[in-house]
Chain A
Amino acid sequence: MTQEQLIKGCRKNDRTAQSELFKQYKDTLYFVSLKYSRNAVEAEDNLHDAFMVIFDSIKKFENRGSFEGWMKRITMFKAIDRYKKNKYTPVDILEKTQAAEETVEKEELETISLDTLLQCVQELPDQYRLVFNLYQLDGYSHKEVARILNISEGTSKSNFHRAKVVLQKSITALTHQKISKHGA
């Protein structure tokens, strides 16, 4: 089934087309959901809700731009809505990470598995994670991030900086663990 046939079928609320669409895009959209969520359970819940919205609003899709991009944005904003309501930014992390460096050895990161990297992102405080994802991974400007999250541009910038510091700390800790394991 081509993408156009899939869209047509989904517009008619055809369950076969909907199932096929789910099969084709579930992995990509699940990863988007994982990046924006705290854990796998919340990511699955978010993916479920995102697909419901996709099937509901597929009639509004006007074939302008990428269909996959449109679905990714729905998944992303669904997750943002989930965490926007109860943003949690622990103060102790902010204070402790002020002077940390934001660079890391390339090889150092390449030895770490994708799941572990994903876990590092998921463990970020909600607002840091959202800002890091939007700005760094999805290419939005700080102005756009500020508008999406209802924060100031300055807050977006500082949240992004602090997110990177926290990530670096996590990576350093992971590398030290590895070294100590190999050493032992």
Chain B
Amino acid sequence: MEHRKDIGELFKDRLDDAKKAPKQALWERLDASLNKRDKKRRTAAWFWYGGAGILLALLFLAGVLATSDSKTINENATEISSKENTLETERNTTKNKMAPSEAESTITIENQTNVAKTAVPDTVSSTTISPANATKKGTSNTGTTPTKKSVTKDGFKVTTTHEYYNSDLDTTTTSQNKKKIDSLVAANKRMMAVKDSIARKRASDSIKLNKAKTDSIPE
């Protein structure tokens, strides 16, 4: 019985650290599998890089399109704004033709020797450049005594006077403070808007009244 041993132990003794060579063809098979795997990885890498490239290109394109769209919108907005300005200018010009201008700004450049006169029309005012010895130049019939003076390098004395003529009241307000004139113009606009709305309401009321009268007449 001393020679008898646990079968598990005997197997362990014999099989421990044993070696056996596999078939020669196994490396060729493994090599082929490794090549196949590398090819797959390369394809996957190309797929991902390509996908990423396409995505970047699309993002870039989208960015470019968005920028050009916003530019177009800005350009359109500018165009609309310039059209509005033109319309307002035309309206004011018409008003100026119909009645004396509501607001005028006169710039007088005074020079002892040089004589130059240029009228630059503005949306709400006309500008006049006159020599220094001219006391008053421009479309306005209001007399202004320049109080604000400045001397340029060329020896020109520049004074800016703003005039506001209200054709409804037939009054002229003169000031070198443009803000004051601007506030007067704005206040007048508001008043005009109120008047317009009242007039529109009256007109619509009268239309309604007329219609009611017409309806009430039996056929």
A residues with CB within 8 A of B: 13, 15, 18-19, 22-23, 26-28, 30-31, 34-35, 43-44, 47-48, 51-52, 55, 102-107, 109-110, 114, 117-118, 121, 132, 136-137, 160, 164, 167-168, 171
Contact = CB atoms under 8 A, between A and B. Distances in A.
Nearest to A109: B10
A110 B18 CA distance: 15
Given A26-B22, A105-B4, 16 more contacts: A27-B21, A28-B19, A30-B22, A44-B26, A48-B26, A48-B29, A103-B6, A104-B7, A104-B10, A106-B4, A109-B14, A114-B14, A136-B8, A136-B11, A160-B8, A167-B7
Interface of B: 3-12, 14-16, 18-23, 26-27, 29-31, 33-34, 37-38
Nearest to B22: A30
**Chain B interface main SS type:** helix
Contacts of B27: 19, 22-23, 26
Nearest to B21: A27
Contacts, number: 95
Contact of B19 (A23, A31, A51): A31
Contacts of B7: 102-104, 109, 164, 167-168, 171
Nearest to A133: B15
Contacts of B4: 103-106
20 contacts: A15-B31, A23-B27, A26-B26, A30-B20, A35-B15, A47-B22, A48-B26, A55-B34, A102-B6, A102-B7, A103-B4, A103-B7, A104-B10, A106-B10, A109-B10, A118-B15, A132-B8, A136-B12, A164-B8, A171-B7
A97 B54 CA distance: 68
B21 to A, nearest CB: 5
Contacts of B30: 22, 48, 51-52
Nearest to B26: A44
A121 B15 contact: yes
Contact of B15 (A43, A47, A104, A137): A137
